[in-house]
Amino acid sequence: MINHLITQKNWQTQLSEAITSVDELLSILKLESLRATVYIPEHFELRVPRDFVAKMIIGDSNDPLLRQVLPDQKEQVSVTGYVTDPLSENTQNPIKGLLHKYQSRVLLTITGACAIHCRYCFRQHFDYSANMPTADAKDNIIHYISENPEVNEVILSGGDPLNVTNRRLFAWLDTLESIPQLTTIRLHTRLPVVMPARLDTELLERLSQSRCRIVMVIHCNHANEIDTTTAEYLQRARVAGVTLLNQAVLLKGINDDVETQVQLSERLFASGVLPYYLHVLDKVAGAAHFDHDLQASIRLYWSLLAQLPGYLVPKLVRELPDKPFKMPIDIYNNA
């Protein structure tokens, strides 16, 4: 691993210095020979923080972290059933920036930006320009939530909600905390894994002071994504009173074996994070080569149940556009 790439710079500087050049990334990893197998996408370009690259293994073309971010020519192959909006999210936003799919929860896309572009991202084709809440949209959001008293939780998403400045994020927190019926604010974020310095003191102090329960659902797919520094930052968040959960995506050739999944759950728990969901891949256009056979996924899951205590086994689920909940995979009828 290339530890010399790890910096002590603040997170905004790290964000601005993320690698966006395929050639630079391959040069750092001494993998110039891979150039013929990759391509330069015109949409959803390469983006990866240097701290995440520092966790990759030099010279390893099959590094599980590299394979998640390196554009592959396979993305250009059109595969039947893999579409640009696999969850039909563009039809579930009653007002701009707000998705209401689950009965007691709404999701706010407060930014279209993310610190890293994962090549299997189900929102890589999402029309953020048409769905971003404007500055004057907060009144509409407050009104909508107030008119739906069953809503008691708001999920901040994107993009990545921690990609915005503390000032902007705190303004959203202030707005949401002013709605009496809300009890929980959840943040779905990959930044604590790919750029742990984002969990700065100012952010953690603000989260610890919230009148709402704060749940942070991180996105980590492989134990190698959690080094000592990452684990320390996650533990700080836990000490600040943040409930930490993880959702992973089952990716072919990256984390689709029992040993890797066991190591992931154990590394998460050692860092103060509980495994939450293990997602079957959303069938988004360009990501078919990441999809894992369903029967093999179920066999893997049975092995996890045998090897791990129940609290370290994430729920095996898939998300479907017509269901108001995550669909558990039927591991019994498909066993």
What are 26-40's pLDDT values in tens digits?
999 999 999 988 988
Over residues 176-192, the mean pLDDT reads: 97
Burial letters 125-155, b for 16+ CB under 10 A, else e: bbeeeebbbeeebbebbeebbeeeeebbbbb
The tokens of 114 are what? 């993310």
Q: Tens of pLDDT along 105-119? A: 999 999 989 999 999
Please say if the pLDDT value at position 137 is more than 90.
no
% of the chain surpassing 90 pLDDT: 72
Average of per-residue pLDDT values in the chain: 90
Say how far apart CA 70 and CA 56 lie, in whole Å: 12
Q: Is 70 left (phi over 0), alpha (psi -120 to 50) or beta?
A: beta
Q: Could you give the maximum distance between any two Cα atoms of the chain, in Å?
A: 58
pLDDT tens for residues 222-275? Answer: 999 999 999 999 999 999 999 999 999 999 999 999 999 999 999 999 999 999
User: The pTM is what?
Assistant: 0.92
User: What are the structural domains of the chain?
Assistant: 3-76 (no CATH), 89-328 (3.20.20.70)
Instruction: Print burial letters for 17-43: b (CB count within 10 Å at least 16), e (below 16).
Output: ebbeebeebbebbebeeeeeebeebee
Residue pair 215/187 in contact (Cβ under 8 Å)? The answer is yes
Strand 327-328, strand 315-318: pairing: antiparallel
Which CA distances in Å does 41 have to 38, 47, 124, 173? 9, 11, 12, 35
pLDDT at residue 24 above 80? Answer: yes
Q: Which two tokens stand for residue 122?
A: 């189900």
